[in-house]
Amino acid sequence: MSYNKEYEQIETGYQAVRWHEPVIYNLGRHGIINEITPQADPEIQAAAKYDVENMIPECMRRKKEPSLPELSEPEVVRHYVRLSQNNFSYDSGNTVGLGTCTMKYSPKINDQLATLPEVYELHPFQKDEQIQGILQIMYELRTWLAEIAGMDEFTFQARGGAHGVFINAAMIKAYHHSHGEDFRDEIITSAVSHPANGGCPAALGYKVITLYPDPVTGDIGIEQMKAAISSHTAAMMMTAPYDTGVFDSHLKEYIDMVHEVGGLVSLDQANFNGVIGHLRAGDLGADMMHFNLHKTFSTPHGSVGPGTGAVGVKKPLIPFLPKPLVIFDGKEYHTDYNRPQSIGKVGNFMGNIGSVIRAYAWIKALGAEGITEAASMAVLNNNYLIKKMLQVKGMGIAWANRAKLQEARFTVEELFQNTGVTTFDINRRVIDYGIISYFESHEPMIVPNPITPEPSDSVTVDDLDRFAEVFDCISKEAYSNPEIVKSAPHRCALHKVLDGPLNDPKQLATTWRAFLKRNPDFTQAKGI
C-alpha cells in the first residue's frame, strides 16, 4: 500500500536512520593495504633460516588466502559508525519496550574505569601480587552483593544470566551427589520463569517439571506445588518476581515445602530491579541465586553481551563454586584454586571483569539508600505506565487484580479480536513512531497477544508518556484503518522481512558466502 504522512496521527519522534548500509563485502577496493601491525624486526627476519612460509609444515600451509573485505581505514570506520547508528540502544532512545531486559542508564564513568589499561592489559594468569587491585574490587563487590542478596559467597564466572543458572544447576547436582543422593533427578520450575530455568537443568540431565500460574491469581498455588514435589526433588529453580511482574504470594511456602523433602532452592533474580533493598533471596530461604549484572546493576548490555550472571550461594554450597574463588587473608587478596569439590570450570578464566568493575561503581555511586530508591523508582515508573497503558482502547493486562512490581504483561487480545491486528503487527508499527520494538513474552506465551515492557529506574516520565501515546495512536489506527498497522513498518530502513527462509536450514545463510551460493543472482538495490 502507498503510505503517506496523513496516516500519522502523532509526531514520528526519534527516527532511526533509513539507508541501506551495504554488506561489507560490497564495499572497499581491491589492493588496499592497511599497515596496522608491525613487521618483524629486520634483524630477526635476517636471522631466520627459512622464509617464514617454510616454517609451517607443507600440509598445514594455507594455499589460498581467506577472502576478507578490502577496505581502507576510513572506510572501515565509516561502515561501522553507520552500523552503530543503525542500532537502537538505551542511549539512543526510548527502550521502555524491552521487558525483562532491565534497560537502564550505564554510567559512562564506569566504562572509563573498566577500560583503563590497569584492567585492559591485565592477564588472568598473572601472579596474585600483580593483580591486587582487581582482586580487591572483585572481593569488595562480592561482599556487597552477599549483603544485598542475603548470601554468603559470590562468583562472577558466569558470562550471562543463563550461564549463572547453569552454574547453579551444576552445583545442585554436585551437592546431592556429595550427599549420596543421586536419586534426586527432578527440578521444578515455572512457565513464567526465564526459559534457562528449564533449559539448563535439562542440559545436565535433569527431569524438569514446569508449573503454570493460575490464570486468575497469577500464583502457582500450594496444591499444584504439592503435586510436583516428591522425594526425587533435587531443587526448585524459579524466577522471582515473575517476568509478569507478579510476586507469587506463596513463594515462602514453596521454599519451605522443597526444603522439607530435602531439595534445594535456586532463585533466578534477573528481575531483581524492582525489589533491591526490599527483599533478599537469603532471607526467603533460598540456598542459591543469581543476579544479572547487565540488568539490575547497570552494566551495559553490549549488543547481547558481554554480561555477567553473578551467582550467590549460602555456606553449604560454597565448596561447589567454580574455581578459583577470590579470598582475603586480612592483608592480601588471593585466588584460591584449591577447591576439591568445585564443579570445575564453566569457561576460560574468571569471567567478564568489565561487569564487575561497572557494577561496583554503580553501587558505590548510589549507596544503599540509592539502590533501594532505584528499585522504588522502577516500581513507580512501571505502575505509572500501567495506568497510562490501560487507557488505550483494546488494551488489557494479565492478572489485573494483582499488583505489579518492575514490569507487567499487557495483552491486546481484545484489540485483535475486534480488528485482526496482532501484537506482532503492532511491534512493527511502533518503530515508525520512534520507540524500540518491544518484548512480547518468553515462550510459552501463556498470555495471548502479549506486550511486556519494563520502564526500569532511569527512564524519564516523558518516555513513559510517549510510550503510552504511541500505543494509543496505533490502537486508533487498528480500529480505523488496520491495514496501516498490518503492513508496517513504513518509516524504517527495512520493509517486512520474509520469514520463510529463516525457518528453512536450506535457505538460511549465516555467512555472505552461503548467501551468495543460495542467491547467485541477487543484486542489492541502491537507496531505500
Question: Is residue 436 part of the contact set for other proteins (CB under 8 A)?
Answer: yes
Burial environment of residue 434 by CB neighbours within 10 A (0 to 12, 13 to 18, 19 or more): buried
Residues 6+ apart with CB under 8 A from 334: 128, 135, 326, 327, 328
- Residue 200 or 310: which CB sits closer to other proteins? 200
C-alpha to C-alpha distance for 158 and 191, rounded to whole angstroms: 23
- Residue 6 or 42: which CB sits closer to other proteins? 42
**What is the nearest approach in angstroms of other proteins to the Cβ of residue 460?**
4
- For the CA atoms of 313, 314, 318, 320, the dihedral, rounded to the nearest 10 degrees, stands at -60
Q: Which residues pair with 217 in a beta bridge?
A: none
The residues in 363-382 that bind other proteins, with binding defined as CB under 8 A, are 363-374, 376-377, 379-381
Q: Which three cell numbers stand for residue 343?
A: 564443579
The residues in 218-247 that bind other proteins, with binding defined as CB under 8 A, are 223-224, 226-228, 247
Stretch binding other proteins (CB under 8 A), from 2-10, 260-268, 469-477, 515-523? 515-523
Question: Is residue 400 part of the contact set for other proteins (CB under 8 A)?
Answer: no
Question: Is residue 63 part of the contact set for other proteins (CB under 8 A)?
Answer: yes
Question: Is residue 183 part of the contact set for other proteins (CB under 8 A)?
Answer: no
Question: Is residue 398 part of the contact set for other proteins (CB under 8 A)?
Answer: no
Question: Is residue 76 part of the contact set for other proteins (CB under 8 A)?
Answer: yes
**What is the nearest approach in angstroms of other proteins to the Cβ of residue 128?**
11
The residues in 249-308 that bind other proteins, with binding defined as CB under 8 A, are 249, 251-252, 275, 277-280, 283-284, 292, 294, 298, 300-307
Give the interface size with other proteins as a residue count (CB under 8 A).
247
Q: Which three cell numbers stand for residue 478?
A: 487498528
The residues in 116-145 that bind other proteins, with binding defined as CB under 8 A, are 116-127, 130-134, 136-137, 143-144
Q: Taken in order 367, 369, 372, 374, is the CA torsion positive or negative?
A: negative
Stretch binding other proteins (CB under 8 A), from 4-12, 54-62, 261-269, 469-477? 54-62
Identified binder of other proteins from the candidate list 101, 234, 326, 478, rule CB under 8 A: 101
x/- letters, 160..179, toward other proteins (CB under 8 A): xxxx-xx---x--x------
Residues 6+ apart with CB under 8 A from 360: 137, 140, 141, 144
Q: Which residues pair with 265 in a beta bridge?
A: 236
**What is the nearest approach in angstroms of other proteins to the Cβ of residue 325?**
15
**What is the nearest approach in angstroms of other proteins to the Cβ of residue 324?**
11
Q: Do 354 and 122 meet the contact criterion of CB atoms below 8 Å apart?
A: no
Q: Do 160 and 347 meet the contact criterion of CB atoms below 8 Å apart?
A: no
C-alpha to C-alpha distance for 318 and 72, rounded to whole angstroms: 52
Question: Is residue 327 part of the contact set for other proteins (CB under 8 A)?
Answer: no
Q: Which three cell numbers stand for residue 332?
A: 592480601
Q: Which three cell numbers stand for residue 337?
A: 584454586
Identified binder of other proteins from the candidate list 9, 11, 15, 61, rule CB under 8 A: 61
Question: Is residue 4 part of the contact set for other proteins (CB under 8 A)?
Answer: no
The angle at the Cα of 295, spanning 291 to 299, to the nearest 5 degrees, equals: 105
DSSP string of 372-407? Answer: HHHHHHHHHHHHHHHHHHTTSTT-EETTTTS--SS-
- Residue 7 or 512: which CB sits closer to other proteins? 512
Stretch binding other proteins (CB under 8 A), from 5-13, 19-27, 313-321, 466-474? 19-27
Q: Taken in order 327, 142, 295, 316, is the CA torsion positive or negative?
A: positive
Question: Is residue 111 part of the contact set for other proteins (CB under 8 A)?
Answer: yes
Question: Is residue 490 part of the contact set for other proteins (CB under 8 A)?
Answer: no
- Residue 9 or 461: which CB sits closer to other proteins? 461
* CA distance readout (Å), 358 to 45, 276, 353, 362, 440: 44, 17, 9, 6, 29
**What is the nearest approach in angstroms of other proteins to the Cβ of residue 316?**
20
